């Protein structure tokens, strides 16, 4: 039974609402598009609904809810409201008025005839918007509302059960929360603990999504939510939130009050926490076979689960249309020339016409190529704009103050690359805030502005797009990295490593483990994953850092994935393409400057010693025998700061080629990343330099380390021979398996020039002046 | 000392219900506001421990009022009171720092448990 004073207060207000509603509807009839009137009416019905619901007048609540829906429809669609609808609305308002009178006298609301009215109004709404979901959604909620009201007398159980269950395998989670490859790699290479948190709101909870969102918000204060299922930032459909999974990386103790109070949200009933069992990737560099198999296909096709549709700027399509138009005109000109030929025009005339027309064809096809390339390009802003929020969240979590700047957001990048590059950028930014930017007090002590500064920029440099994350933090601490390298790789001679070689170690898998995160202020966690990801996009990473000035990490990417700049070379009478971005240098040298060291070919060139691979041998053919004083072409390739000298038969020049991916059958072949069809129809294999270098290094890594340690070739002479003999067998097996020959030389790396020159080199090589690749392309190479 | 609460709702009836419920639980209602502007001004004047803020209010809605209050007092304890179908607004409020929300028509237990949790 309702207390009298509530009834009185309710009636007073409700009568006023009904009266105001009547007046406003009359006004609306004269001015059916007046938005402010509709808004006001919507609000009246909304209020009436709430009040009636509070006192359990369910019929009034339902009718006012339906009227609210009707006004909501016109509010949203901005359509004029028709007379018919207005009379239906009046019927509803009249019923409410009568019902209020009944409550006034008998304390009971009217139920008689209410069903038919509700039906009429519901039907009206259906008609108004048969395919719209706005109103349907409200109805859905309404059903739940009824359920809620029926259980009004239930006591609400507020106890939250937080149970910690047995560990769960990572494999299961991958399916539960749909992790991207990047996430998986990142988690597997990270030595932190991860937890799966399953949150259930109580059944009677009306707005489950916001409740779970509150938990989500709280959890973010205590760690990082790697993934949620449903995707909480995007999926707002309440019916999907019977429960929600969070993959969570805590930054606090999970038994702490801080963490547990994250769940102290009203109407949350049950929470299950399970530690995730993750098979960590081994630190060993070699156990990556499967990944390497994937690498080739990724390098060429980037087969990822990203979306395959693309929104294209209409201007780009217009210019495509224009070029195609020109092409058609051009074709007509060729037909004309054919006529000239048939009608016996002079050869000079035909020649002139032919030259003109084909020059035009060249220009048009160039244009078409550029346009098609641009079609794939979208401004990097699409992802950059998400980062201010990311920075804000990370910074506040780590309790650091950071100003964040973005530049070059309109730089365009291949769509595939954009999709793939977001996670690596996020990681670099997180690292910059976490490890780069110092705490406020420390910054002030150093005389820096209290607020840290992080810049994310994108710009084009030649045929590359550079994405740069720079901070004005403490810089990378070489000494700490050196100590760490010493610990992890006791065989490495630290003193012989340059600073940039030291930084390379940061990008090695498992470089930083959990215990060290706290002691090592350098970067490290998961950077190998970032690097892998970037190299899958045919990009590379460049780090510059200065103590107390800051660190800048550049992701250097090719402009587009389909067109590749290559150096075309010839070996054993076939064409091969070497991607320009892998090439350090090309030159022509006398054959006798290639030294023999036992069975190995090495080259001393500008104070560095390179091991030499004959391309013809690499592809399983005989190398051409050269006379003593002949000049030969070399291409020095580089991957990950390791360099190898490839000896080729002929140098054709620089070209842009369209990359075709390899057929499935050939994908297992190592050392080839794709195929390019040349202008004359012949085929060139594109060399997979990273694979070749890596394969070479891994086969000879023991030797390399040893060499570096001893710093003298002579001292390890016997060892080289022995170890090499061992590895030769495995190379032979490899040859049969892979159809691609491996070189039988030893590797050197750039640090090699420390080796006592006298012991290695018998005579100095006369080198020609450094020729840039661009120059080479115009040389006469016949 | 009693917990001081400010109620903001455009419906006096709603405020009356809330007031009774809360006073019975031993809370002190220090003031009432019937629109967003009033809510902000009264918050500044009365400095309540908690403000229960309705979303749909004339002149200035609850979300705008909430932002103004947070500007004035970043640690303000605000409970948003909303009706069904305003999910989007609630999410917006949560993102801006609201500690909890209650859904109309609400029950005594709900509002009290929300207040207790906000006070923790």
Q: Average pLDDT of A473-479?
A: 84
Q: Average pLDDT of A510-520?
A: 44
Which residue of chain B has the CA closest to A232?
B91
Of the pLDDT bands very low, low, confident and very high (cuts 50, 70, 90), residue A187 is: confident
The answer to whether the Cβ–Cβ distance between A49 and B110 falls below 8 Å is: no
- Nearest-by-Cβ selection for A156 from B17, B87, B107: B107
Of the pLDDT bands very low, low, confident and very high (cuts 50, 70, 90), residue A131 is: very low
The answer to whether the Cβ–Cβ distance between B109 and A156 falls below 8 Å is: yes
Determine the distance in angstroms separating the CA of A146 from the nearest CA of chain B, rounded to an integer.
Answer: 11
Average pLDDT, chain A: 73
The answer to whether the Cβ–Cβ distance between A264 and B56 falls below 8 Å is: no
Same-domain check for residues A353 and A205: no
The answer to whether the Cβ–Cβ distance between B94 and A9 falls below 8 Å is: no
Which residue of chain B has the CA closest to A58?
B105
Give residue-wise pLDDT tens across range A567-600. Answer: 899 888 888 899 887 787 888 888 888 877 666 7
Provide the pLDDT for residue B58.
Answer: 80
Of the pLDDT bands very low, low, confident and very high (cuts 50, 70, 90), residue B51 is: very high
B114 at interface of A, judged by CB pairs closer than 8 A = yes
**Highest mean pLDDT pick, A132-136, A140-144, A314-318:** A314-318
Residue A23 placed within a domain: yes
**Helix axes of A347-375 and A314-342: crossing angle, nearest 10 degrees:** 160
Number of domains chain A is built from = 5
Q: Which domain holds residue B51?
A: 4-119
- Nearest-by-Cβ selection for A214 from B85, B94, B103: B94
Least Cα distance to A51 among A74, A18, A83 occurs for A18
Residue at a domain's end among A277, A298, A326: A277
A152 at interface of B, judged by CB pairs closer than 8 A = yes
Residue A680 placed within a domain: no
Residue indicated by tokens 């109309």: B104
Give residue-wise pLDDT tens across range B65-96. Answer: 888 898 888 888 898 888 766 777 888 888 88
Same-domain check for residues A639 and A550: no
Classify A241 as helix, strand or coil.
Answer: coil
Of the pLDDT bands very low, low, confident and very high (cuts 50, 70, 90), residue A159 is: low
Catalytic residue among A198, A222, A431, A741: A431
User: Is pLDDT larger for residue A107 or for residue A290?
Assistant: A107
Same-domain check for residues A198 and A248: yes
A508 at interface of B, judged by CB pairs closer than 8 A = no
Give residue-wise pLDDT tens across range A386-428. Answer: 888 888 878 887 888 889 999 888 888 888 788 788 888 988 8
Asked if pLDDT for residue A534 goes beyond 80, the answer is yes
Chain A residues closer than 8 Å to B88 by CB: 236
The answer to whether the Cβ–Cβ distance between B85 and A266 falls below 8 Å is: no
Residue at a domain's end among A103, A127, A150: A150
Task: Say if residues A652 and A575 touch (Cβ distance below 8 Å).
Answer: yes
Provide the pLDDT for residue A684.
Answer: 84
Chain A residues closer than 8 Å to B100 by CB: 214, 265-266
Continuous H helices in A107-222:
114-128, 134-150, 170-176, 181-189, 208-220
Determine the distance in angstroms separating the CA of B110 from the nearest CA of chain A, rounded to an integer.
Answer: 8
Provide the pLDDT for residue A552.
Answer: 92
**Span of A650-659, A743-752, B85-94 with lowest mean pLDDT:** A743-752
Of the pLDDT bands very low, low, confident and very high (cuts 50, 70, 90), residue A704 is: low
Provide the pLDDT for residue B80.
Answer: 87
First to last CA, chain A: 105
Percentage, residues of chain A above pLDDT 90: 5
Same-domain check for residues A458 and A362: no
Neighbours of A355 (CB within 10 A): 10
Same-domain check for residues A23 and A78: yes
Provide the pLDDT for residue A457.
Answer: 93
Provide the pLDDT for residue A739.
Answer: 33
A533 counts as catalytic: no
Of the pLDDT bands very low, low, confident and very high (cuts 50, 70, 90), residue A468 is: very high
B24 at interface of A, judged by CB pairs closer than 8 A = no
Catalytic residue among A51, A62, A68, A468: A68
Asked if pLDDT for residue A731 goes beyond 90, the answer is no
Determine the distance in angstroms separating the CA of B26 from the nearest CA of chain A, rounded to an integer.
Answer: 20
Which residue of chain A has the CA closest to B9?
A47
User: Is pLDDT larger for residue B116 or for residue A536?
Assistant: B116
Would you tell me which residues 217-276 of chain A have a C-beta closer than 8 angstroms to some C-beta of chain B? 217, 236, 238, 261, 264-267
A141 at interface of B, judged by CB pairs closer than 8 A = yes
Q: Average pLDDT of A183-203?
A: 79
Determine the distance in angstroms separating the CA of B107 from the nearest CA of chain A, rounded to an integer.
Answer: 8
Determine the distance in angstroms separating the CA of B91 from the nearest CA of chain A, rounded to an integer.
Answer: 6
Provide the pLDDT for residue B85.
Answer: 66
Asked if pLDDT for residue A653 goes beyond 70, the answer is yes
- This prediction's pTM: 0.42
Chain A residues closer than 8 Å to B56 by CB: 43, 46-47
The answer to whether the Cβ–Cβ distance between A54 and B104 falls below 8 Å is: yes
B113 at interface of A, judged by CB pairs closer than 8 A = yes
Which residue of chain A has the CA closest to B113?
A266
Q: Average pLDDT of A79-100?
A: 86
Number of domains chain B is built from = 1
Provide the pLDDT for residue B94.
Answer: 84
Residue A299 placed within a domain: no
Same-domain check for residues A333 and A443: no
Of the pLDDT bands very low, low, confident and very high (cuts 50, 70, 90), residue A740 is: very low
Neighbours of A133 (CB within 10 A): 9
Asked if pLDDT for residue A211 goes beyond 90, the answer is no
Residue A66 placed within a domain: yes
Same-domain check for residues A450 and A480: yes
Spatial neighbors of A173 by CB under 8 A, at least 6 apart, are: A179, A196, A247, A276
Asked if pLDDT for residue A444 goes beyond 50, the answer is yes
The answer to whether the Cβ–Cβ distance between A51 and B110 falls below 8 Å is: no
Residue at a domain's end among A93, A126, A150: A150
Determine the distance in angstroms separating the CA of A50 from the nearest CA of chain B, rounded to an integer.
Answer: 6
Percentage, residues of chain A above pLDDT 70: 74
A349 at interface of B, judged by CB pairs closer than 8 A = no
Taking the CA atoms of chain A, what radius of gyration do you get in angstroms?
36
Test the A interface: residue of B21, B85, B95 with most A CBs within 10 Å: B85
Least Cα distance to A616 among A572, A672, A569 occurs for A572
Going by DSSP bridges, is the β-strand pair A244-250/A223-229 parallel, antiparallel, or unpaired?
A: antiparallel
The answer to whether the Cβ–Cβ distance between A214 and B58 falls below 8 Å is: no
Catalytic residue among A46, A240, A464, A717: A46
**Span of A266-275, A287-296, A662-671 with lowest mean pLDDT:** A287-296
The answer to whether the Cβ–Cβ distance between B91 and A53 falls below 8 Å is: no
Provide the pLDDT for residue A753.
Answer: 34
Asked if pLDDT for residue A687 goes beyond 70, the answer is yes
Q: Average pLDDT of A53-71?
A: 87
Task: Say if residues A68 and A21 touch (Cβ distance below 8 Å).
Answer: no
**Highest mean pLDDT pick, A45-49, A281-285, A601-605:** A45-49
Give the whole-angstrom CA distance, residue A323 versus residue A364: 6
A13 at interface of B, judged by CB pairs closer than 8 A = yes
Chain B residues closer than 8 Å to A24 by CB: none
Give the whole-angstrom CA distance, residue A460 versus residue A439: 33
Would you tell me which residues 62-101 of chain B have a C-beta closer than 8 angstroms to some C-beta of chain A? 83-85, 87-88, 90-91, 94-95, 100-101
Give the whole-angstrom CA distance, residue A230 versus residue A218: 17
Same-domain check for residues A592 and A482: no
Which residue of chain B has the CA closest to A145?
B84
Taking the CA atoms of chain B, what radius of gyration do you get in angstroms?
13
Q: Average pLDDT of A211-215?
A: 86
Q: Average pLDDT of A290-306?
A: 39
The answer to whether the Cβ–Cβ distance between B56 and A43 falls below 8 Å is: yes
**CA trace torsion A723, A728, A731, A736 (10° rounding):** -150
CATH number for the domain including A626?
A: 2.40.50.180
Give the whole-angstrom CA distance, residue A413 versus residue B4: 56
Asked if pLDDT for residue A700 goes beyond 80, the answer is no
User: Is pLDDT larger for residue A496 or for residue A295?
Assistant: A496
Q: Which domain holds residue A257?
A: 161-277
Give the whole-angstrom CA distance, residue A553 versus residue A435: 13
CATH number for the domain including B88?
A: 3.40.50.2300
The answer to whether the Cβ–Cβ distance between B102 and A266 falls below 8 Å is: yes
The answer to whether the Cβ–Cβ distance between A156 and B102 falls below 8 Å is: no
Percentage, residues of chain B above pLDDT 70: 98
Residue indicated by tokens 């040893």: A706
| A301-309 CB contacts, 8 Å cutoff, 24+ apart | A301/A661, A302/A416, A302/A420, A302/A536, A302/A537, A302/A561, A304/A181, A304/A416, A304/A419, A304/A420, A305/A180, A306/A416, A306/A419, A306/A420, A307/A419
A68 counts as catalytic: yes
The answer to whether the Cβ–Cβ distance between A51 and B13 falls below 8 Å is: yes
Peptide bond into A230 cis (omega under 30): yes
CATH number for the domain including A525?
A: 3.30.565.10
User: Is pLDDT larger for residue A521 or for residue A256?
Assistant: A256
Chain B residues closer than 8 Å to A43 by CB: 56, 58
- Nearest-by-Cβ selection for A10 from B13, B84, B101: B13
């Amino acid at each position: 039974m309702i207390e009298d004073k509530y009834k009185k207060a309710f009636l007073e207000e409700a009568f006023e609402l009904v009266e105001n509603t009547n007046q406003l509807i009359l006004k609306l009839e004269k001015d059916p598009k007046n938005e402010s009137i509709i808004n006001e009416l919507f609000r009246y019905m909304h209020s009436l609904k709430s009040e009636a619901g509070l006192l359990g007048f369910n019929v009034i609540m339902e009718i006012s809810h339906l009227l609210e829906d009707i006004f909501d429809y016109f509010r949203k669609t901005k359509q004029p409201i028709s007379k018919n609808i207005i009379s239906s609305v009046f019927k509803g308002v009249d019923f409410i008025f009568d019902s209020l009178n009944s409550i006034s006298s008998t304390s009971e609301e009217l139920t008689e005839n209410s069903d038919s009215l509700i039906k009429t109004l519901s039907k009206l709404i259906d008609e108004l918007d048969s395919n719209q979901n706005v109103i349907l959604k409200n109805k859905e909620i309404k059903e739940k509302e009824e359920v809620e009201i029926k259980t009004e007398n239930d006591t609400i159980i507020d106890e939250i059960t937080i149970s910690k269950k047995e560990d769960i395998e990572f494999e299961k989670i991958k399916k539960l929360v749909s992790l991207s490859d990047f996430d998986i790699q990142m988690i597997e290479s990270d030595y932190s603990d991860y937890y799966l948190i399953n949150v259930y709101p109580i059944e009677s909870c009306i707005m489950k999504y916001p409740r779970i969102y509150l938990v989500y918000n709280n959890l973010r204060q205590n760690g990082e939510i790697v993934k949620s299922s449903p995707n909480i930032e995007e999926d707002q459909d309440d019916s999907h939130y019977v429960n929600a999974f969070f993959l969570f990386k805590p930054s606090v103790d999970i038994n702490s009050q801080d963490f547990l109070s994250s769940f102290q949200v009203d109407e949350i009933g049950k929470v299950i926490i399970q530690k995730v069992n993750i098979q960590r990737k081994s630190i060993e560099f070699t156990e990556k076979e499967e990944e390497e198999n994937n690498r080739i296909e990724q390098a060429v096709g980037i087969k990822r689960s990203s979306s395959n549709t693309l929104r294209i700027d209409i201007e780009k399509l217009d210019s495509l249309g224009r070029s195609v138009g020109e092409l058609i005109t051009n074709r007509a000109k060729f037909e004309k020339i054919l006529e000239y030929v048939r009608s016996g025009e002079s050869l000079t005339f035909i020649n002139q016409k032919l030259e003109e027309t084909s020059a035009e064809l060249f220009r048009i096809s160039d244009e078409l190529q550029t346009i098609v390339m641009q079609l794939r390009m979208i401004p990097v802003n699409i992802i950059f704009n998400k980062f201010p929020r990311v920075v804000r969240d990370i910074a506040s979590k780590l309790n650091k103050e950071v100003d964040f700047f973005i530049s070059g957001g309109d730089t365009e990048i291949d769509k595939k690359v954009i999709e793939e590059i977001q996670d690596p950028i996020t990681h670099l930014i997180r690292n910059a805030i976490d490890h780069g930017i110092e705490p406020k007090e420390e910054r002030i002590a150093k005389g820096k502005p209290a607020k840290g500064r992080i810049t994310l920029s994108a710009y084009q440099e030649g045929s590359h797009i550079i994405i740069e994350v720079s901070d004005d933090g403490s810089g990378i601490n070489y000494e700490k990295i050196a100590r760490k390298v010493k610990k992890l790789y006791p065989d490495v001679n630290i003193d012989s490593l340059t600073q940039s070689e030291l930084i390379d170690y940061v990008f090695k898998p498992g470089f930083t483990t959990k215990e060290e995160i706290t002691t090592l202020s350098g970067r490290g966690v998961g950077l190998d994953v970032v690097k892998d990801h970037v190299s899958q996009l045919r990009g590379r990473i460049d780090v510059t850092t200065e103590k107390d000035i800051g660190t800048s990490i550049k992701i250097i990417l090719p402009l587009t994935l389909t067109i590749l700049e290559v150096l075309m070379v010839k070996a054993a009478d076939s064409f091969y393409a070497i991607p320009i971005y892998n090439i350090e240098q090309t030159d022509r040298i006398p054959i006798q400057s290639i030294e023999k060291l036992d069975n190995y070919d090495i080259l001393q060139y500008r104070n560095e010693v390179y091991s030499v691979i004959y391309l013809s041998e690499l592809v399983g053919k005989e190398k051409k025998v050269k006379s003593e004083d002949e000049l030969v072409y070399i291409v020095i390739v580089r991957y990950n700061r390791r360099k190898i000298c490839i000896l080729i038969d002929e140098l054709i020049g620089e070209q842009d080629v369209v990359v075709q991916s390899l057929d499935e059958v050939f994908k297992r072949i190592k050392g080839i990343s794709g195929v390019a069809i040349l202008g004359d129809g012949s085929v060139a294999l594109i060399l997979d330099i990273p694979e070749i270098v890596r394969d070479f290094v891994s086969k000879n890594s023991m030797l390399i380390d040893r060499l570096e340690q001893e710093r003298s070739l002579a001292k390890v002479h016997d060892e080289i021979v022995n170890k090499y003999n061992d590895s030769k067998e495995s190379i032979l097996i490899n040859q049969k398996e892979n159809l691609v020959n491996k070189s039988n030389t030893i590797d050197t790396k750039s640090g090699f020039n420390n080796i006592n020159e006298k012991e290695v080199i018998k005579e100095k090589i006369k080198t020609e002046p450094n020729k840039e690749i661009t120059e080479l392309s115009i040389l006469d190479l016949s | 000392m009693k917990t001081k609460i400010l109620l903001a709702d455009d419906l006096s009836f709603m405020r009356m219900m809330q007031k009774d419920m809360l006073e019975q639980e031993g809370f002190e209602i220090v003031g009432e506001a019937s629109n967003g502007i009033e809510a902000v001004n009264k918050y500044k004047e009365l400095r309540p421990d908690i403000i229960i803020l309705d979303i749909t209010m004339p002149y200035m809605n609850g979300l705008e009022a909430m932002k103004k209050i947070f500007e004035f007092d970043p640690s303000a304890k605000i409970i948003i009171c909303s009706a069904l179908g305003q999910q989007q607004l609630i999410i917006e409020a949560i993102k801006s720092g609201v500690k909890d929300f209650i859904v109309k028509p609400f029950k005594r237990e709900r509002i009290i448990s929300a207040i207790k949790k906000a006070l923790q």
